[in-house]
């Protein structure tokens, strides 16, 4: 199931980039109600990248291309509850480990090693105990950890063949889930029913959701995680749903479609602007191009469309420079995709931002998650949107700043457009871009046809 | 949505049982990949019982029947990502709080308070920091905490009207999910597809799963959480799936049905034994009866059935006394049900076991989760089963001990029965028992009819 050669290749590449040994922990599933009722286990992505399998309560030591596995065998009683589980030696063979030891041996082998803090707080505490030093991404980053993190970023920024295959598997399932969501909407009464139809397909394929799904008629709430609303004819439904493979690789897709099966003319007008931005941004992707420039290209096309509709007014360059588009498109164009849906966001902006760059103070750029020149082998999302966010539109500060840039009266004609986003996953190739999510239609007319 | 009078009643009852103030934390959602990609939030059940709403990062102080709420208002920027969230004062009104303060005020108000440790490790660490003392259920239980825990157990052991209404809501959804699972099996090819059909209904009703579903043809793996197997005609499919309401109340149902729609005669023979035990145990439930005796009644009926089939041999009393039934029914008959699927299992055995009692060393009793006299208002599960667990049947120790009690040759005729469990949720009434899950058939013939 695992291609050991690719794993070994990753380990060798790491060894070429860092000269201290590395120890990575996998973490353990957090308790929900009590220890036996836990959340589903999700291994640390850095661990997964080099170990290949989601082993709970395990650690690996990477040194000069070799991998030593540290994990305890299942408790003798556990076979009653969990069946016969593979033993350490079997797993070592599966993942191409050079040595395998019980967990308690790890502390004897730790002496000046680099690591990355895990998300699971229980394991993070153990990690600090065993290393006897502080661990932090944001401040006082330890020097060897920094060296490791830079090396890991340089590897994980672009994907090898098995990584890409996994992402494609996740994408194929997500594409199907979105088709099912679109097809099931007319017979659904609530957001929850459409969400159920979509996630059901993901579950049926033995995958999980890469993130908490957004399925909402209130698309203007960017990270909406409630599903209580009734669907009403005239609503747009925004669905941001993506599958994750059993080995941990993510996909991330958003579509927005009309509950009735037909976009109103105001919805269609805005939809086509978002789509034009989406298409132009993808068209602009190739190695060497700055992602930030692609973001600004999207911003410009949205601003241009809104000027044409009469929602924004004035000089286009001037509008984009003062972030007038960001009233309606306040987030960044997209992010890295890989083992995490925002790949390596556990490292703060270290992965998303080229060394030496930091977040902009600008309203229209501050939420940008990716600011690097693109490279062949990267997978990024392109997800422009249009939203009428009450917290922005009703904010006196914004109202004043953009008083003369927005035709507030005209805007009222578009009150049935609360939120639209169109998001695809794009592989940067050696010469341009490949839309990995291309089997899911984006055009309004194609979506209407699917629903008819 | 929340019935404040019932919440206040719970707070008053607590005040009658404990004379020190209590502080309970709700916890926060653990990170999965990175902070923004977190597990769905699940509030601490003790917090939920008195506060009524699943508030993240909140605490309540209960003192003399009053409730003070401690939580911070949403960050100003959060309305962009999460929409307008209710503010502290609104929430205080909703849950009938007497006062509401920002979180930072809490530490000024903590002086000799009782508490219960939360599951979320991040909050648990904060809890210990702010209280400046150790917190543990298993050892060195602090005296005021012990007083609180005993008081909370005595309240939560039996359910008030709103608690019971919530449990029934969860049960109704689970019953429907099981019907869908049974109906969808013949057209499903994998365990994952049946799981998807069942969980899909739970999601569509805006509920979550109270625990990780078990949907498996390997029913002999008691806590199986993989769904990779193909369904084959001749397999039995065991599904242990239960919904949880948005306010946190659980349900817990298991059914076992034939993939083909028809039990083989060997499967039917064993199924009817498990069902006979199930029915007799429920019949035996009334206030004052020891749950342990109900468990032993179930054990006896299973042993008797297996003797009649020729799988066990010898004197019935003798077989049960030496735990011969436990070769095939190794777990306990059931557990408390409430806000947790194993209600209050975060308190170890303090809730499940009557004061002064501890787990038995006996093979047939050691896994019993509940050992108390039953009381009107309790909800318990009754879930006898029959399993051919390789870890037991192939264990030389057991083989030797039960050499002459099992007809090993005869057993081979039942090789198509890997695991059967039938689980219902039972309310102990003032005079007997009410099967809350009665809308889901248990009889083999009724299940076959549903599938035909």
What are the pLDDT digits (tens) for A36-49?
999 999 999 999 99
CA distance A345 to A350: 8
Whether residues A301 and A429 fall in one domain: yes
Instruction: Answer yes or no: are the C-beta atoms of B232 and B189 closer than 8 Å.
Output: no
pLDDT at B84: 86
CATH of the domain at A87: 3.40.350.10
Between A80, A83, A192, which is nearest B204 by CB? A192
pLDDT at A134: 86
The closest of B283, B188, B175, B281 to B230, measured between CA atoms, is B188
Whether residues B127 and B40 fall in one domain: yes
The closest of B266, B236, B218, B401 to B327, measured between CA atoms, is B401
pLDDT at A139: 75
Instruction: Answer yes or no: are the C-beta atoms of A298 and A330 closer than 8 Å.
Output: no
Contact across the interface for A204 and B221, Cβ inside 8 Å: no
The closest of B286, B302, B242 to B423, measured between CA atoms, is B242
Q: A417 to chain B, minimum CA–CA distance in Å?
A: 16
The DSSP annotation for A173-219 comes to HHHHHHHHHHHHSTT--BHHHHHHHHHHHHHHTT-EESS--EEES-T
The closest of B80, B36, B37, B85 to A220, measured between CA atoms, is B80
Whether residues A236 and A276 fall in one domain: yes
In this prediction the ipTM stands at: 0.97
Which residues of chain B does A242 touch, with a Cβ-Cβ cutoff of 8 Å?
none
Please write the tens of the pLDDT for every residue from B306-317.
Answer: 999 999 999 999
pLDDT at A374: 98
Whether residues B191 and B124 fall in one domain: no
Share of chain A above pLDDT 70, in %: 100
CA distance B289 to B432: 10
Residue A162 corresponds to which tokens in the numbers above?
């098995």
Interior/surface letters B66-88, b for 16+ CB within 10 angstroms, e for the rest: bbbbbbebbeeeebbbbbeeeeb
Statement: residue B305 has pLDDT above 70:
yes
pLDDT at A1: 67
Share of chain B above pLDDT 90, in %: 93
Q: How many CA atoms lie within 13 A of B118 on its CB side?
A: 27
Average of per-residue pLDDT across A364-380: 97
Q: B118 to chain A, minimum CA–CA distance in Å?
A: 9
Whether residues B129 and B209 fall in one domain: no
Please write the tens of the pLDDT for every residue from B167-181.
Answer: 999 999 999 999 999
Among the ranges given (A100-104, A260-264, B74-78, B100-104), the one the predictor scored with the smallest mean pLDDT = B74-78
Q: A37 to chain B, minimum CA–CA distance in Å?
A: 6
Whether residues B295 and B225 fall in one domain: yes
Which of A32, A46, A191, A339 is the best substitution to test chain B (most B C-beta atoms within 10 A)? A32
Question: Total structural domains in chain A?
Answer: 2
Q: A431 to chain B, minimum CA–CA distance in Å?
A: 31
Class of residue A316 by CB neighbours under 10 A (exposed 0-12, middle 13-18, buried 19+): middle
Contact across the interface for A346 and B204, Cβ inside 8 Å: no
Domain boundary among B156, B185, B202: B156
Which of B170, B204, B339, B364 is the best substitution to test chain A (most A C-beta atoms within 10 A)? B204
Give the distance between the most distant pair of CA atoms in chain B. 74
The DSSP annotation for B155-201 comes to HHTS--HHHHHHHHHHHHHHHHHHHHHHHHSTT--BHHHHHHHHHHH
DSSP-assigned letter for residue B347: G
C-alpha distances out from residue A206 to A36, A177, A298, A391, B90, Å:
22, 13, 36, 39, 41
Average of per-residue pLDDT across B291-305: 98
CA distance B239 to B226: 12
Domain boundary among A106, A134, A156: A156
Q: How many CA atoms lie within 13 A of A120 on its CB side?
A: 26
Host H or E run for residue A267: helix A265-284
Whether residues A122 and A262 fall in one domain: no
Higher pLDDT, A223 or B290: B290
Which of A27, A37, A118, A361 is the best substitution to test chain B (most B C-beta atoms within 10 A)? A37
The closest of B20, B25, B21 to B126, measured between CA atoms, is B25
Class of residue A257 by CB neighbours under 10 A (exposed 0-12, middle 13-18, buried 19+): buried
Contact across the interface for B203 and A195, Cβ inside 8 Å: yes
The closest of A85, A145, A91, A142 to A114, measured between CA atoms, is A145
Average of per-residue pLDDT across B263-287: 98
Contact across the interface for A204 and B196, Cβ inside 8 Å: yes
Contact across the interface for A221 and B81, Cβ inside 8 Å: yes
Residue A322 corresponds to which tokens in the numbers above?
């003062």
Please write the tens of the pLDDT for every residue from B345-402.
Answer: 999 999 999 999 999 999 999 999 999 999 999 999 999 999 999 999 999 999 999 9
pLDDT at A32: 97
Contact across the interface for A203 and B195, Cβ inside 8 Å: yes
- The three-class DSSP label of residue B23 is strand
Domain ranges, residue A410:
161-451
pLDDT at A78: 85
Q: B48 to chain A, minimum CA–CA distance in Å?
A: 12
Please write the tens of the pLDDT for every residue from A135-178.
Answer: 988 777 889 999 999 999 999 999 999 999 999 999 999 999 99
Give the distance between the most distant pair of CA atoms in chain A. 74
Which of A28, A83, A117, A124 is the best substitution to test chain B (most B C-beta atoms within 10 A)? A83
Whether residues A181 and A283 fall in one domain: yes
Statement: residue B83 has pLDDT above 90:
no
Between B32, B80, B228, which is nearest A119 by CB? B32
CA distance B320 to B326: 8
Average of per-residue pLDDT across A179-202: 98
Statement: residue A383 has pLDDT above 70:
yes
Contact across the interface for B81 and A201, Cβ inside 8 Å: no
Q: A181 to chain B, minimum CA–CA distance in Å?
A: 12
Among the ranges given (A73-87, A310-324, A414-428, B348-362), the one the predictor scored with the smallest mean pLDDT = A73-87
CATH of the domain at B329: 3.90.230.10
Whether residues B269 and B383 fall in one domain: yes
Helices marked H in B206-349: 265-284, 291-309, 316-321
Domain boundary among B156, B173, B208: B156
Q: Which residues pair with B424 in a beta bridge?
A: B382
The mean predicted confidence, pLDDT, of chain B is 96
pLDDT at A114: 96
Between A79, A203, A218, which is nearest B83 by CB? A218
Share of chain B above pLDDT 70, in %: 100
The separation between the first and the last C-alpha atoms of chain A, rounded to the nearest angstrom, is 41
Instruction: Answer yes or no: are the C-beta atoms of B371 and B352 closer than 8 Å.
Output: yes
- The three-class DSSP label of residue B262 is coil
Please write the tens of the pLDDT for every residue from A59-69.
Answer: 999 999 999 99
Please write the tens of the pLDDT for every residue from A261-292.
Answer: 999 999 999 999 999 999 999 999 999 999 99
In the block, tokens 């040759």 appear at B409
Host H or E run for residue B68: strand B66-70
Between B192, B212, B340, which is nearest A34 by CB? B340
CA distance B39 to B48: 18
The separation between the first and the last C-alpha atoms of chain B, rounded to the nearest angstrom, is 41
pLDDT at B139: 75
Whether residues B77 and B105 fall in one domain: yes
Contact across the interface for B203 and A196, Cβ inside 8 Å: yes
Helices marked H in A2-99: 4-17, 45-51, 78-82, 88-95
Instruction: Answer yes or no: are the C-beta atoms of B379 and B158 closer than 8 Å.
Output: no
pLDDT at B377: 98
Contact across the interface for B227 and A218, Cβ inside 8 Å: no
Which residues of chain A does B87 touch, with a Cβ-Cβ cutoff of 8 Å?
none
Q: pLDDT band for position A77 (50/70/90)?
A: confident
Contact across the interface for A121 and B119, Cβ inside 8 Å: no
Whether residues A211 and A342 fall in one domain: yes
Residue B442 corresponds to which tokens in the numbers above?
């248990």
Question: Residue B226: closest CA among chain A residues belongs to which residue?
Answer: A206
Please write the tens of the pLDDT for every residue from A202-232.
Answer: 999 999 999 999 999 999 999 898 999 999 9
Q: What values do phi and psi take at B32, rounded to 5?
A: -105, -75
Number of A–B residue contacts, CB under 8 Å: 173
Between A35, A80, A340, which is nearest B34 by CB? A340
Whether residues A149 and A219 fall in one domain: no
pLDDT at A111: 86
pLDDT at A79: 84
Contact across the interface for B204 and A220, Cβ inside 8 Å: no
CA distance B175 to B440: 6
The mean predicted confidence, pLDDT, of chain A is 96
Average of per-residue pLDDT across B116-141: 91
- The three-class DSSP label of residue B146 is helix
Class of residue A163 by CB neighbours under 10 A (exposed 0-12, middle 13-18, buried 19+): buried
CA distance A372 to A287: 11
Average of per-residue pLDDT across A119-133: 94
CA distance A347 to A148: 12
Statement: residue B1 has pLDDT above 70:
no
Q: What values do phi and psi take at A406, rounded to 5?
A: -110, 135
Q: pLDDT band for position A340 (50/70/90)?
A: very high
């Amino acid at each position: 199931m695992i291609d050991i050669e690719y794993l070994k290749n990753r380990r060798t590449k790491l060894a070429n980039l860092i000269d201290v040994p590395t120890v990575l922990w996998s973490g353990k599933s957090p308790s929900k109600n009590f220890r036996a009722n836990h959340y589903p286990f999700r291994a640390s992505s850095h661990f997964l990248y080099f170990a290949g399998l989601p082993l709970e309560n395990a650690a690996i030591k990477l040194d000069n291309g070799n991998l030593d596995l540290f994990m305890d065998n299942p408790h003798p009683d556990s076979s009653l509850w969990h069946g016969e589980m593979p033993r350490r030696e079997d797993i070592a063979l599966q993942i191409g480990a050079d040595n395998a030891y019980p967990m308690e041996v790890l502390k004897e082998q730790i002496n000046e090693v680099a690591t990355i803090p895990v998300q699971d707080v229980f394991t993070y505490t153990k990690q600090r105990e065993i290393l006897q030093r502080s661990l932090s991404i944001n401040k006082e980053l330890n020097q060897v950890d920094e060296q490791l993190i830079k090396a890991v970023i340089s590897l994980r920024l672009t994907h090898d063949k098995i990584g890409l295959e996994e992402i494609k598997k996740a994408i194929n399932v997500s594409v199907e889930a979105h088709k099912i969501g679109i097809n099931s909407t007319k017979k659904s009464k609530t957001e929850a029913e459409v969400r159920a139809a979509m996630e059901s397909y993901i579950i049926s394929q033995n995958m999980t959701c890469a993130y908490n799904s957004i399925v909402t008629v209130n698309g203007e709430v960017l990270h909406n995680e409630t599903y209580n609303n009734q669907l009403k004819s005239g609503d747009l439904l925004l669905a941001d749903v993506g599958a994750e493979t059993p080995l941990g690789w993510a996909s991330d897709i958003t579509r927005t479609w009309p509950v009735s099966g037909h976009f109103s003319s105001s919805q269609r007008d805005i939809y086509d602007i978002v789509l034009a931005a989406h298409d132009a941004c993808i068209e602009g992707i190739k190695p060497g191009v700055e992602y930030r420039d692609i973001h600004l290209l999207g911003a410009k096309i949205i601003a241009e469309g809104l000027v044409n509709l009469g929602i924004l007014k004035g000089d286009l360059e001037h509008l984009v420079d003062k972030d007038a588009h960001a009233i309606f498109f306040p987030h960044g164009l997209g992010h890295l995709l890989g083992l995490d849906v925002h790949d390596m966001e556990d490292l703060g902006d270290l992965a998303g931002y080229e060394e030496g760059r930091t977040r902009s103070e600008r309203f229209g750029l501050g939420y940008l998650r990716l600011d690097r020149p693109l490279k062949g082998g990267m997978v990024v999302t392109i997800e422009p949107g249009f939203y009428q966010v009450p917290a922005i539109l009703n904010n006196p500060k914004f109202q004043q700043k953009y008083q003369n840039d927005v035709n507030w009266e005209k805007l009222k004609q578009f009150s049935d457009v609360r939120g639209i986003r169109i998001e695809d996953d794009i592989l940067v190739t050696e010469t341009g871009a490949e839309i990995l999510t291309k089997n899911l239609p984006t055009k309004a007319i194609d979506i209407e046809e699917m629903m008819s």
